[in-house]
Amino acid sequence: MFYLDPTYMLFALPAMILVIYAQYKVRSTYGKYSRVRSHSGMTGAEAARVLIPANGLSVRTEVVRGNLTDHYDPRKKVMRISEGTARNPSVASISIVAHELGHALQDKTNYPLLRLRSGIVPIVNVSSWVGYVLFLLGVVLRAMGLVWLGVILFSAGAVFALLTLPVELDASKRALGMLQANGLVTAQETGGVKAVLSAASFTYVAALAQTVSQLLYFIFVAVGMGGSRRRR
């Protein structure tokens, strides 16, 4: 129903454009630097085998299908490396691996924001969906209590997105430091590493903007409903 409301598009369209641009930026930057061979000649998997012991990490690695499916699982202490990253000896591959190991290093050092983000994941998974449903029911039934309860629960997603951004930026900072400290990048390659890490981080900025725009629209509707009821 919201997509039929022109006001919704005023809130959502800028964030949608930002998301599309962020996806384009990641794909184009990854595509560019996946074709730039690293001076070390290391693939992503080989870089992981160097960086894990060098940073005192107890992390297993697994190769998973696809491209850009790389992620670190703090529960199982596993870094999953996509096939494209694992086998490609490129600046993009070692940058992505180092970023995920940045999360592993955060895990090892009990980085507070990572702990907080991981702790609220189950809450966010439930509350965001329930909040959306309650908000929709409240609008249909004209029940302000349900509307505001939906807004409050849905806002957990915005909190999660807000926490994610500094976590990702910190992981990228650690990634660059690891690569430089272990001699896996030259001064000339540093610009490429930063470009890859920056493009990846921008996707989280876009995700935050999208979640916040949705939340602001919900608040706009709730305030409007409340005002119309008072005028009766």
Q: What are phi and psi of 62, to 5 degrees?
A: -135, 140
Residue 229 is classified by DSSP as H
Q: Are 151 and 82 in contact (CB under 8 A)?
A: no
Q: Is the dihedral of CA 100, 104, 105, 107 positive or negative?
A: positive
Residue pair 211/157 in contact (Cβ under 8 Å)? The answer is: yes
Catalytic-residue membership of 100: yes
Nearest of 73, 87, 64, 92 to residue 194 by alpha carbon: 92
**Which residues, 6+ apart, have CB-to-CB distance to 177 below 8 Å?**
none
Catalytic, out of 46, 62, 83, 100: 100
56 backbone dihedrals φ, ψ, rounded to 5°: 65, 35
CB 131 within 8 A of CB 155: yes
The residues annotated with a catalytic role in the active site are 100
